Structure 1
């Protein structure tokens, strides 16, 4: 379910976007400047598409919320620390905590390359994680070229003060806003002081000496270091997809696999063979309670075919180690725990089968599973594993 919140002009006439100001130097009306989609927690961004066109809904200004603001891609441990600070402040003031994010990701609108770095979470997953961290409502600002062109001062006044009616705002130390990212946390604090809005600037969170950031998580995933990504996220990175019919090669080798087709919206790790776990159905991005121990190949199957063309997402084939594998058409979530090796070409199917057997044993060792005893792993959200 989703509904939209619009700016001050829309309060006077529900269902009609307000023309709040004009885009600097362009003469264009900023009609969509303060349109928000209220997102309910879910596993996909399907709610965003289903909600189009963005419909009018009551503003939240009368609630006088505390707002935690950021892109929040990945909702990593730094983001959750910020949300906890916002929750404490909201409880002190007996106010609701509202998480304000942006959709689509600003990089996809502002950068000439379209921000092709890949997302860490869908909008639905982001909302679920923000709500789990304490946000009572999640509002996604519809980010457009017109929004990107708004100067910091009118963005603060019209969006945070007039539309949302914030009594306090919590942002990260590296928060930027307004045209050309001209506004920073210091300017936000200055504007807040003048408007009577408390501004809390949350400091950086470090793990093992590294500042936790969405960029750091993406870099770890591109390097195949999913264990470092797990530390930064506070949970394993995951992909959601649907099981489709493959070529049956895994079955012929003695290791049946589920061929998982996933959208390219979320960043996938570097190609290779991974220890992973598979959860059936629409499960939350931090719920591993029913996940099945598995091993997966993420790549282009070079032993059987040449690499696909550039831009084609790597195939994801998951072999479930214990438990009932999913059927065709079933939705699954695959959590990545450890990269075992790079993908490579084998001289024969027999050589490949022998390597898969070794990969399987290493995956079982990761989980501490002895199938002869009927073991079934119980994973904590941030588990890294017990392999050396």
Structure 2
């Protein structure tokens, strides 16, 4: 898959089969559209193109609202889309000027003159251009003038998948990582750099790697304990992760930590990927470190039982 970070990098195609969207999560609903996109491109001798946006449109349209957190970083999205067999991915900066394009300008300037669409696939009730005024009516109205075909994924097909990025975010924020995985078609993960902590975990027999996320817009699941896998390059380990403010020691900041099983190496500064498999329990305050240690031992047993169960 070829990736472009601006329209200026992209050379207009003779037979582009395209779709448009933010595709946060690249979940089952998105995958249905992308599968159809690739099938149609192959059957017509065209090339598949996805037009997506970064930053997310809501970050530009409503910059004061910092509540929106995304399921994927842009790097994660690129990786997932490349594995789905897409030929071209255009990641255009979403700007005020771009958001002010009229439906006619959007169709002619972007879809026709820049991408070279011959066929366009959109999800049910797809909206675009200024104030989201563009839709199927406008796409069909200009299709004969600009010589392209338009295909809409039926509402029933979308409803059958019963998935939305909003529903997945809600599941993750509730700690329901297994439910989120059933919607996504893969397990949710975070990627970050290992930084130094205060090493309290070592004093009670549960050393942890503290993870720093550079992308502030990345969604972090609910506070609690999780069964996870940890990937470092070609190596993969089992472990249990903690997200929370460490109330037992009166912590002031929200931490992301992982106790990696059967592992005893210094990895400060390294990047690791932590994949969430199962929620074990909520974060609670204990009477002291000894009580916390006893609970962590039970958490480890529960985590190992989970891994044994899934084989």
Pair 1:273–1:83, CA change in 2 (3 A): same
Bigger relative contact order (CA 8 A; separation at least 6): 2
* Residues 1:102 and 1:235: Cα distance change in structure 2 (over 3 Å): same
Partner residue, 1:260 = 211
Q: For the structure 1 residues 291 and 203, does the alpha-carbon distance in structure 2 shift closer, same or farther, using more than 3 Å as the test?
A: farther
Cα displacement string for residues 250-289 of structure 1 (whole angstroms, at most 9, x for unaligned residues) = 11111111111113221001111111111114xxxxxxx8
Task: Summarize the alignment of residues 162-201 of structure 1 with structure 2, pairs less than 5 Å apart.
Answer: 162-201=113-152
SS at match of 2:274: strand
Cα pair 1:65 1:164 within 8 Å, conserved: yes
**Does 2:195 match 1:244?**
yes
Equivalences for residues 218-233 of structure 1 within 5 A: 218-233=169-184
Cα distance in 2 for partners of 1:101, 1:256 equals: 41
Partner of 1:356: 296
- Match of residue 293 from structure 1: 238
1:330 is aligned to 2:270: yes
Mapping for residues 81-160 of structure 1, pairs under 5 Å: 81-111=32-62, 113-114=64-65, 116-160=67-111
Equivalent in the alignment of 1:215: 166
Cα deviation, residue 322, structure 1: 3.9
Q: TM-score under structure 2 normalisation?
A: 0.92
Q: CA deviation at 1:190?
A: 3.6
Q: Aligned equivalents of 2:3 and 2:158: distance in 1?
A: 35
1:280 aligns with 2:232: yes
Corresponding residue number in structure 2 for 1:71: 22
Matched, 1:305 2:245: no
Displacement of 1:151 in angstroms is: 1.3
- Per the alignment, residue 271 of structure 1 pairs with 223
Indicate the residue corresponding to 2:279 in structure 1: 339
Q: Deviation at 1:163?
A: 0.8
Question: Following the alignment from structure 1 to structure 2, what is the Cα–Cα distance between the partners of residues 88 and 3?
Answer: 22
Query: How far 1:194 moved relative to its partner?
Result: 4.3
Change in Cα spacing, 1:115 to 1:89, as seen in structure 2 (3 Å) is farther
Please state how far the C-alpha of 1:175 moved relative to its aligned partner. Answer: 1.9
1:116 CA drift (Å): 2.7
Which aligned segments of 4 or more residues in structure 1 are displaced greater than 4 angstroms? 1-4, 204-207, 323-326
User: 3-state SS of the aligned residue for 2:85?
Assistant: coil
Residues 118 and 265 in structure 1, CA contact (< 8 A), matched pair in contact too: yes
Give 1:17's aligned residue: none
- Aligned pair count reads 308
Aligned to 1:29: none
CA contact (8 A) 2:227 2:279 kept: yes
Match for 1:316 among 237, 256, 266? Answer: 256
**1:173 touches 1:185 (CA, 8 Å); kept in 2?**
no
* Residue pair 2:229, 2:239 contacting (<8 A) in 1 also: yes
Which of the pair is proportionally richer in helix?
2
Deviates more, 1:156-165 or 1:184-193: 184-193
Give the drift of 1:206.
Answer: 6.3
Quickly say closer, same or farther: Cα 1:94–1:2, change in 2 above 3 A: closer
Task: Give the match for residue 375 of structure 1.
Answer: none
Gaps of 5+ in 2: none
Measured against aligned partners, the alpha-carbon deviations of 1:69-128 in whole angstroms (never above 9, x if no partner) come to 111111111111111100110001111111110111001011253453101111121111
Report the Cα distance in structure 1 between the residues aligned to 2:122 and 2:235, rounded to whole angstroms.
35
Alignment partners' CA distance in 2, 1:302 and 1:316 = 14
